[in-house]
Amino acid sequence: MNRKNIYLAVLPTLPWILTNCCQAQATDNRPNIILILADDMGYSDIGCYGGEIQTPNLDKLASEGLRYRQFYNGTRSCPTRASLLTGLYAHQAGMGWMTTADMQRPSYQGCLNNECVTIAEVLKSAGYSTYMSGKWHVSSERKNSGGVQEHWPNQRGFDEFYGIVGGAANYFNMKYNRNNQQFHSPKDGTFYFTHAISDSAAVFIKQHSFEEKPLFLYLAYTAPHWPLQALQKDIDKYVDIYKAGWDQLRETRFQRQKKMGLFSPDVQMSPRDEAVPAWDNLSKEEQKEFAMRMAIYAAQIDAMDQGVGRVVEELRKKGQLDNTIIMFLSDNGACAEFISSGKRKAVDGKEDTFESYRRNWANVSSTPYKEYKHHTNEGGIATPLIVHYPKGISPKLDNSFVNEYGHITDIMATCVDFGKASYPTTYKGHTIVPMQGVSLRPNFIGKNTKRGKTFWEHEANIAVREGKWKIVTKVIEGQSFDENAIHLYDMNADPTELNDLATTYPQKKNELYAAWKEWADKVEALPLDTRSYGERRRDYKRRCINGQFDDNFGDWKYGVTNTAEIYFSIDNAHTISGDKTARIDIKKSGDKPANGFLKWMFNAKAGEKVSIRFKVQAEKKSPIIFRLEREQNLATKLIDAPLSLTTDVRTFEFKDIPIKENGNYQLVFYVGKSNGVIWIDDVELDIK
């Protein structure tokens, strides 16, 4: 990989404008702070936590700093990132679930709310320059697709941003943001997103004036999140290693963890996931394919570690390494999700494949724990945490472990503490929820933070940790939450959660569950929702149509079907009602009744009835066709209505259209038979 090409491809697309909120003293000796977040990386993947993947740069940070035996994230990308950035439980920041849907509850609105502040906002107010490189994933997908920027990094305290606002991307071929503008990656073979993230971060450090202000950098990798895509030179390092199979490698990791002191000799590893076959029972072809899956995954982590090395080296060149707090962690446990799409199904790490490494290898990444991302067993919420801060960590603690558990909300408290910042009670006219975490500073000198009860809820998977005790449930999508299925573990004696003590100590279980219910009521996590990802998204599209175009064309699809010249835009000047109206400007009509389209897709079930209402206007008399049709079978038209538009605003309504088959449907405005401008607004969809 040519480093110069990466810089040329990624960085100079916009001028580097370093905006300052206030002038700090040149003698400011507060530490710089760098938060590094891996994506979907398991507890045991990196070398200093037992893995065989080559991570010399992270291992060196660990050997010169602290490692936490028990540090916790929020079990999924969006909730963890919300907690990391705000110091609140995810529900308090509006991110109890994912950015995919606004579930019409403040705690599950699908983007950061205005009752929280980010670390960037707090530290910027204290005189820091704030930078972000990588994955955001705490703003609404619908708003993102519509280009609504109100909760993007630059709007939430970051002076500079390079990366993606969504949750995942092709590593070789993608759209990325430079601040609030979007660009497409170069197609000359020089681009790899993990390296681009690292290079951007290194340039931020290189161009920062440390004499004027301390630096805060949030470096949020997408690696090793699916898709499995990596550089061949990195993949080649690992193919032979993983031919040994998951059974042997899992045992090897566990023995290495014990040898380094991460676990005591008497700790037992959880059994292999019963859904995963023994390696020796696979055919040679299956073994070859699975070895390649893990080799690509390892290569993604390897590339991330290379980038961490470049960031550390840039700090060293600037003379700032000793005065910089570097914290590295992962957003959730190993990912067992089954992903398989893309143009090809080959597992070779190229840009036209879109694969995951599956539960089979996620079970290894979770070593020695059970369960994965989504769940609140240790395999879902335990993360490595490496802290490197030569100026602030007692030298006698170098290469040591912190025994006390910590939580993702503690990161904000630590940054506020070391940054000598004031956490606000109000911000931009909004009352701010108080910090929920505690500063990790005592751990840096060998003392305890005395963290108390810590809580989780994600997709009805709940947990509470207090001292050595932990309650936890596992809920399968679509099934009910069962209070009788709450497990109790002694985490000091049984860190891998193998010996359920719920019937032995029922009073302790009930005490912790009562505390959880009190917390859940406070953060508005109730009632619990066990629906699947798809169900939640489908219901959002059904119940909450973007009919007034408040989110621009977010979740709408539009296009031109033939040689017509048609432009779609949001009109803020000529509106039918509200602040925005959809504008369709037909410069050149086509030779068919339908030459362009604007459509909304949704799911409906047999026996339901659909009602649709909308307003339209045209600059001159114009025809359009409105249809309600099956998405996969356009010949099935439930409504097929030619409409005549005039210069007056007209309202059309279609009531109680019966649905006869389960499936995906779309309401579509077909346009382009004649020239002119058409406005559409106030589209209402009611399903009952």
Beta bridge partners of 454: 465
> Which amino acid, one-letter code, is at 460?
A
d(C-alpha 83, C-alpha 87), whole Å:
5
Residues 215 and 418 sit within 8 Å (Cβ to Cβ): no
Cβ neighbors of 365 (< 8 A, separation 6 or more) are 41, 42, 43, 44, 45, 333, 334
Cβ neighbors of 339 (< 8 A, separation 6 or more) are 226, 227, 354, 355, 356
Pick from 307, 341, 55: nearest CA to 202: 307
> Which amino acid, one-letter code, is at 217?
L
**258 CB burial (10 A radius; 0-12, 13-18, 19+):** middle
Catalytic position from the list 107, 125, 133, 137:
137
Neighbour count for residue 550 (Cβ, 10 Å): 15
User: CA quadruple 418, 422, 423, 429: dihedral positive or negative?
Assistant: negative
Residues 242 and 295 sit within 8 Å (Cβ to Cβ): yes
d(C-alpha 385, C-alpha 382), whole Å:
9
137 in active site:
yes
Pick from 144, 119, 45, 168: nearest CA to 435: 119
145 in active site:
no
CA 89-101-120 angle, 5° bins: 45
Catalytic position from the list 44, 77, 140, 439:
77
d(C-alpha 544, C-alpha 66), whole Å:
47
Cβ neighbors of 494 (< 8 A, separation 6 or more) are none
Active-site annotation, residues: 77, 137
